């Protein structure tokens, strides 16, 4: 049965996040609030955890898992970023955006798109999410917590705990999140392309 860690949304207790980070290190799945909706996260280099993420959501291996990073510098370790892309990312991060970028060899094959060799990557603007990444010691694989057969993401930690208590090792309750997903922007082409509209003001990025 999952553990429920109730943390302060602005100043999360490091003791609890260290416990959650250890669960991730042991190969478990953890639900965490983000600046869009709740997400399920796992250790980056864990194949079994990646498979468990996909089973939980009912996703095939062609669906991008998103890499959650602490900052712009960390993005550059896992994605190829040229000067144009760097300027755009600097303007947009952190925030409710997921960027499609060309993956480097540091990204496990199970995380990148199998035919395009691309990766979904983001820097969330949420203290709890960033603190969990810090506690885990590396970026995390993630997917939005949308139940199979439904369209809306979940944003209530207690409901997630009751529904997925046997599939998750922990649920981090940092309060309610927005119900919208991130906006997905493909940066692999000659100009940024909005793939999915969600949270975030596109006009602030010159895209609307």
CA-closest candidate to residue 68, choices 60, 79, 57, 58 = 79
Q: What pLDDT digit, counting tens, does each position of 70-85 carry? A: 999 999 888 999 999 9
Domain ranges of the chain: 3-205
Q: What is the DSSP string of 8-24?
A: -SSS--HHHHHHHHHHH
Q: Name the pLDDT band for 110 (thresholds 50, 70, 90).
A: low
Residue 110, SS3 per DSSP: coil
- Computed over every residue of the chain, the mean pLDDT equals 90
CA-closest candidate to residue 6, choices 126, 172, 170 = 172
Q: State the pLDDT at residue 109.
A: 62
CATH of 3-205, one of 3.90.1150.10, 3.90.870.10, 3.30.565.10, 3.40.50.300: 3.90.870.10
* Residue 105 burial class via C-beta count within 10 angstroms: exposed 0-12, middle 13-18, buried 19 and up: exposed
Q: Name the pTM for this structure.
A: 0.91
Q: Of 194 and 105, which is predicted with more confidence?
A: 194
Q: What pLDDT digit, counting tens, does each position of 17-71 carry? A: 999 999 999 999 999 999 999 999 999 888 888 889 989 988 877 777 899 999 9
Q: Which residue has the tokens 């925030």?
A: 95
Where helices occur in the chain by DSSP H, the ranges are: 14-25, 47-57, 72-78, 83-92, 127-136, 157-164
8 A C-beta contact, residue 132 and residue 140: yes
What residues form DSSP beta bridges with 42? 141
Q: State the pLDDT at residue 116.
A: 61
């Amino acid at each position: 049965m999952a553990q429920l860690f109730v943390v302060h949304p602005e100043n999360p207790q490091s003791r609890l996040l260290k416990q959650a980070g250890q669960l991730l290190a042991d190969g478990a799945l953890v639900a965490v609030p983000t600046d869009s909706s709740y997400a399920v996260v796992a250790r980056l280099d864990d194949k079994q955890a990646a498979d468990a993420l996909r089973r939980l959501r009912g996703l095939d291996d062609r669906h991008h898992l998103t890499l959650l990073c602490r900052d712009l510098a960390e993005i550059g370790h896992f994605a190829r970023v040229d000067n144009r892309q760097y300027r755009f990312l600097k303007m947009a991060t952190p925030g409710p955006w997921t960027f499609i970028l060309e993956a480097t060899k540091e990204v496990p094959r199970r995380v990148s798109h199998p035919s395009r060799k691309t990766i979904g990557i983001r820097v969330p603007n949420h203290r709890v999410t960033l603190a969990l990444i810090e506690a885990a010691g590396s970026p995390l694989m993630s997917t939005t917590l949308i139940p199979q057969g439904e369209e809306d993401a979940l944003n209530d930690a207690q409901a997630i705990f009751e529904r997925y208590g046997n599939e998750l090792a922990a649920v981090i309750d940092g309060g309610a999140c927005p119900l919208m997903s991130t906006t997905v922007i493909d940066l692999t082409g000659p100009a940024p392309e909005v793939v999915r509209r969600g949270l975030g003001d596109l006009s602030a990025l010159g895209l609307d």
